[in-house]
Amino acid sequence: MTDAPLIRYEPDLLRLRAPNPSPMTGPGTNSWILGDDRLCVIDPGPDDPAHLGALLEVIAGRPVSAILVTHAHLDHSALAPKLTRATGAPVCGFGPADSGRSPLMRSLARDGVGGGEGLDHGFHVDRRLEDGTTVAFGTDELVAWHMPGHMAGHMCFGWRDTAFSGDLVLGWASTLISPPDGDVAAFRASCARLRDLRPRRLLPGHGDTIENPAARIDWLLDHRAARERQILAALEQGAQTTEGLATTIYTDTPSALLPAARRNILAHLIDLMERKLVRADGAPLPEARFELTSGEVEFFSERHWTPPNG
């Protein structure tokens, strides 16, 4: 059942999966259609004529109050302009693709940190959503939460006892964190916040429904903590580049996924530099060599991690 392109979870909740499977999107991007007489669409998906046609078939001429976008990656947002033209609905999200970057990440982008995989550079919103904004459709509504980590402008949406988690928490793999948009510290904080909101289920941007959100989020935090330990252990053997660390750590990863692995490692190294556990021979760019500082190494605990100052 979960492999079907169209699934009705509730009378007013459907998932339509886009036909864009890949090593980075899993079985494809999930588009969510909420409502009965008046609708809301979350993540219209990639710019694919077949997917647009399938969405319009599900919408069936009913009014659409809003098109919500969790984040401006092409596989989630690119279809938004065409869906707006077809329905008249406004596009709602955090802002353009580079919105929300920290001063450090903006500086690294200028320095040539790379990244930006799949950014929808032409993305714009008709309505900018702040953290805590409510969006009404018919007699129903949902709330927008700014939850960066996978992307600086990433949003999740709460509806009844459900959270739409976008690419912050996936139903099939761990999350890509690629600077200057991906940020490990922000990812940890957003995961902890989402867990503390205690949704009954998560409906992700890729993969199937997550029926035990706390366990899945704890796994993700465990995974990031374990990856950090691997990086620090490898650096105990001497200075290394991100490519060298990826070769050492990701020994059983398919070659097609190694570029993403290097970006995840770079994100960890930037976080470790911010915590003064690691230093680089210059700016923390992919070609830099990284080494341990002389400071005491302090690991994040896995399941009991909480954001600093809160």
pTM here is 0.93
Going by DSSP bridges, is the β-strand pair 39-42/64-68 parallel, antiparallel, or unpaired? parallel
Q: Where in the chain is the domain with CATH 1.10.10.10?
A: 227-292
Report the pLDDT value the prediction gives residue 310, as an integer from 0 to 100. 31
Give the Cα separation of 207 and 215 in Å (integer). 16
C-alpha distance across the termini of the chain, in Å: 41
CATH code that applies to domain 227-292: 1.10.10.10
pLDDT mean for each 10 residues of the chain (310 residues): 82 98 94 97 98 98 98 98 98 97 95 93 97 97 98 98 98 93 97 98 97 97 96 96 94 87 97 96 94 67 37
Q: Where in the chain is the domain with CATH 3.60.15.10?
A: 6-219
Residue 104 Cα distances to 96, 122, 260, 280, angstroms: 18, 23, 21, 15
Other C-beta atoms within 10 Å of 225: how many? 17
Give the Cα separation of 27 and 19 in Å (integer). 8
Give the Cα separation of 95 and 57 in Å (integer). 28
**Token match 């429904």: residue?**
209
Residue 24 Cα distances to 27, 117, 167, 263, angstroms: 9, 11, 11, 13
Give the Cα separation of 41 and 44 in Å (integer). 7
Give the Cα separation of 74 and 63 in Å (integer). 25
Whether domain 6-219 has CATH 2.60.120.200: the reply is no
Q: Which residues neighbour 91 within 8 Å (Cβ) at sequence distance 6 or greater?
A: 67, 69, 80, 81, 84, 124, 125, 126, 127
